[in-house]
Amino acid sequence: MKQYKTLMMALFLFSILCFSRVNAMTHDYTLLGKTIYIDPGHGGPDSGAISKNFYEKEMNLVLSKKLGKYLSEKGALVYYTRDGDYDLAKSKNNRKRNDLYARVKLINNSKCDLYISMHLNASPSRKWNGIQIFYSNVLKENKKVAEVITNTMKENMKNVREYKKENGYYMYSKLNVPGVLVEAGFVSNPNDNYKIRQEEYQDILVKNIAKGVEVYFS
Ligand SMILES: [Zn+2]
């Protein structure tokens, strides 16, 4: 009986050892200590790009939450500028500018290591398609973020366009921490519009953005 008990105890300890090893292997906390702000574009009265009954603001939030989940699993502390269908404007006068200003304040005050702004593109022509990352050169570092995430995504996805400098957006020129704007596809392109609504594709997309973030911090 004593021998049996010893054997059971040994088996128990062995299984704990195996389990914790597997756990350690599946959870590599590569983003531990990093704070990342995710900014789902638009919200509330501002729907962003619209195509039939497809609202950009809704998809931005879906993609942002998925991205946040992957980044947290890798150990990052993740914040969102919004986590529901609302905007951040404090007054109805100049509402859009007010909303963007509130986002800038949140992100800058957080002193986070990185921000990712999630949007979808739209064009009068249906033929424009693909994912594209934009950066403002208000910070030198932003170009590197755009380059690393774009190149990482290109390794696993076909529809990634070259990253581009864009200094014309109010919000990104005011941010004093590194980050980029991700335009995750064109709602005006039938193929992009279809793909972005498929959960499987959404997972591939955000996993590759998260991978790019990992590479950037490595
Ligand atoms: Zn947008």
Q: Do 4 and 96 fall into the same domain?
A: no
Span from the CA of 55 to the centroid of ligand 1 (angstroms): 10
Q: Do 7 and 115 fall into the same domain?
A: no
Per-residue pLDDT tens listing for the chain (218 residues): 556 666 666 666 666 555 555 554 556 899 999 999 999 999 999 999 998 889 999 999 999 999 999 999 999 999 999 999 999 999 889 999 999 999 999 999 999 999 999 999 999 999 999 999 999 999 999 999 999 999 999 999 999 999 999 999 999 999 999 999 999 999 999 999 999 999 999 999 999 999 999 999 99
In Å, how far are 8, 26, 70, 75 from 19, measured between CA atoms?
Answer: 16, 11, 22, 20
Span from the CA of 121 to the centroid of ligand 1 (angstroms): 6
In sequence order, the β-bridge partners of residue 32 are: none
Closest CA to 145 of 77, 48, 215: 215
Q: Do 20 and 108 fall into the same domain?
A: no
SS3 category, 19:
helix
Q: Do 84 and 141 fall into the same domain?
A: yes
Q: Do 9 and 47 fall into the same domain?
A: no
Span from the CA of 60 to the centroid of ligand 1 (angstroms): 8
What lies within 8 Å, CB to CB, of 213 at 6+ separation is 31, 36, 71, 76, 114, 116, 149
Q: Do 14 and 39 fall into the same domain?
A: no
| Domain extent at residue 177 | 31-217
**Which string of b and e fits 85-108 if b means at least 16 CB within 10 Å?**
eebbbeeeeebeeebbbbbbebbe
Span from the CA of 118 to the centroid of ligand 1 (angstroms): 8
Q: Do 179 and 146 fall into the same domain?
A: yes
Q: Do 17 and 106 fall into the same domain?
A: no
Span from the CA of 182 to the centroid of ligand 1 (angstroms): 9
Span from the CA of 27 to the centroid of ligand 1 (angstroms): 33
Q: Do 162 and 184 fall into the same domain?
A: yes
Number of residues assigned to the chain: 218
Span from the CA of 119 to the centroid of ligand 1 (angstroms): 4
Question: How many structural domains does the chain have?
Answer: 2
